Amino acid sequence: MSFLGISASLTGRRWVGPDTETERAAETLVQQTGLSDALCRVLARLGVPCEEASLYLEPKLRDLLPDPRSLRDMETAAARVLRSVAKRERVAIFADYDVDGGSSAALLIDWFRQQGQGVTLYVPDRIDEGYGPNEPAMAELAARHDLIICVDCGTLSHGPVAAAKGADVVILDHHLGGETLPEALAVVNPNRQDEDGALAHLCAAAVVFLMLVECGRQLREAGRAGPDLMSMLDLVALATVADVAPLRGVNRAFVRQGLAVMGRRARPGLVALSDVARLESAPNAYHLGYVLGPRVNAGGRIGKADLGARLLAETDPHAAQAMAERLDALNTERREVEAAVRAAALAQAETRGLDAPLVWAAGEGWHPGVVGIVASRLKELTNRPAVVIGLDGDEGKGSGRSVAGVDLGHAIQRLAADGLLLKGGGHKMAAGLTVARDCLDEAMAALTERLARQGAGQGGAADLRLDGMLMPGAAGLDLIEALENAGPFGAGASAPRFAVADAQVGFAKRVGESHLKLSLGDGLGARLDAIAFGAFDGPLGEALMAHGGKRFHVAGRLELNEWQGRRSVQLRVEDAAPSGT
């Protein structure tokens, strides 16, 4: 049943409210905790029981940090890394080219640096080398190093690991493992097939951090002190959010603590990146995923592959500023390339149909650095798993993004094992693949079938999920602070979204090319500032601008607006519908 009777809003969406079970859980939370109704609705939706509410609102890393030794090969990996420090061996870090890989590499560079040891960083070129270790690069690194640490990659790299003759290889990863593992000294990965899956939600940077925790433990057992690990949580937070890891359990604590570290502006690379992105306040989870993360990624997508990792590890503010400016420029270029591919991919996907279990598109010469972002846009638009592939010669390289409850990485890995893909793998929410051009249609049909068996395509593409209703007078700073304590919000824990029912539109003013600034009233004197970004890109802007005194149900997310030292609450409008009153 639709919420507030909205089955087709101004943007064509059906509004969906909490189910009966969630409503009951929210009522119980209100009665037993004394917390506000709005906050309890969010906690109930997140599945937080009454007895755990206070701990959930104040997560402590010490309470949630898992024992690193619960992961296989962890003690071996840490001992080998410590030996490389003790013997001043030559160490190379082979990292993936995304934010998770860059953050993982920067963690290790920082840790080694604090012990007076330099390391070699190697990040493969996305176009020339592709994802993960390759045999020529690993053989070359092995000829000049005693230890190679692969981060955010390597779990499926049997041949490249075998090519690293004369060097030990340690793999710190989180991508789905195969039936057999490479012949590395250690493979630390919560998504190995022989792991229990309890830590499957960790990103690679979190795995690296746990390895450093184990190094610290072994150092203490030997009577020595290690580097300060808490100061490195800014990198773990960035990677966790940018890699769309679910914000639950220890991930949530990583991000909460990491944001606090980031607010101290002690890491030159992140300071420079925040400044070039013109952030006027301390970063929050949204900024990590949508402002800082894309800029770190830009080097790996269309520029120099190791630029993001080097920026995150940089200690000189001037050098960091130059790299941040370069990444910002590359990010602008990336957006232009992405826009062209997105338009073509959407047109193709619409022709094929947006209500299938899999939405996909493939095009000649589409840049491999943006296909993942375009897949993410298609996923968000349709609420279905999406795959976008760039074709070049006899092959196509693509990237996919999934929705909650559908394991895209496993499905793609099975297709690779069955020979329908040349290569493929990843994790539940994101995956990469290489496919032969003449097998493209067959492979996508098989992938569609596999995802359909997991339930893909059953959710409404146009559903807007709401936690409940909110009166304008109730949206104060105290509520914002309370809701923030239930965060951070992101993958697996979406931000609270409320509806303001029967709202009177006070003033409405167009801002920039497509945004709308407005105020919402309840008819009793209370008002709530609101902004609808991109409102004039669709029917929302014109309808609210020319309201003619009509009332609207308005849906969106509450946020803190800081301007010239003034803090106020505003609603970021996502949708609206005439209320009929």
The rounded distance, in Å, linking the Cα atoms of 470 and 554 is 10
What is the residue extent of each domain of the chain?
A: 3-17+466-578, 22-58, 64-328, 353-453
Is it true that domain 353-453 has CATH number 3.10.310.30?
A: yes
Name which of 20, 41, 22, 21 is nearest 30 in CA terms: 41
Q: How many residues does the chain have?
A: 581
Express each pLDDT in 121-134 by its tens digit: 999 988 888 889 99
Express each pLDDT in 293-339 by its tens digit: 999 999 888 778 899 999 999 999 999 999 999 999 999 999 999 99
Annotate 4-28 with b (16+ C-beta within 10 A) or e (fewer): bebeebbbebbbbbbeeebeebbee
CB 48 within 8 A of CB 503: no
What pLDDT is attached to residue 459? Answer: 66
Express each pLDDT in 157-195 by its tens digit: 999 999 999 999 999 999 999 899 999 999 999 999 999
Pick the CATH number of 3-17+466-578 from 3.40.50.280, 3.40.390.30, 2.40.50.460, 2.40.160.100: 2.40.50.460
- 581 — pLDDT class (breaks 50, 70, 90): low
Other CB atoms within a 10 A radius of the CB of residue 60 amount to 11
- 12 — pLDDT class (breaks 50, 70, 90): confident
Against a cut of 0.85, is the pTM above it? yes
Here the tokens at position 194 are 């022989």
Alpha helices in 359-439 (DSSP H): 371-382, 408-417
Strand partners, 553: 577
Express each pLDDT in 525-568 by its tens digit: 889 999 999 898 888 999 999 888 889 999 999 998 877 667 88
Amino acid at 184: A
Q: Please state, rounded to an integer, the average pLDDT across all residues of the chain.
A: 93
What pLDDT is attached to residue 461? Answer: 56
Name which of 441, 440, 301, 319 is nearest 373 in CA terms: 301
- In the predicted model, what is the mean pLDDT of residues 5-22? 92
The rounded distance, in Å, linking the Cα atoms of 137 and 163 is 9
- In the predicted model, what is the mean pLDDT of residues 437-460? 90
The highest-level CATH class for domain 64-328 is: alpha beta
Fold identical between 64-328 and 353-453? no
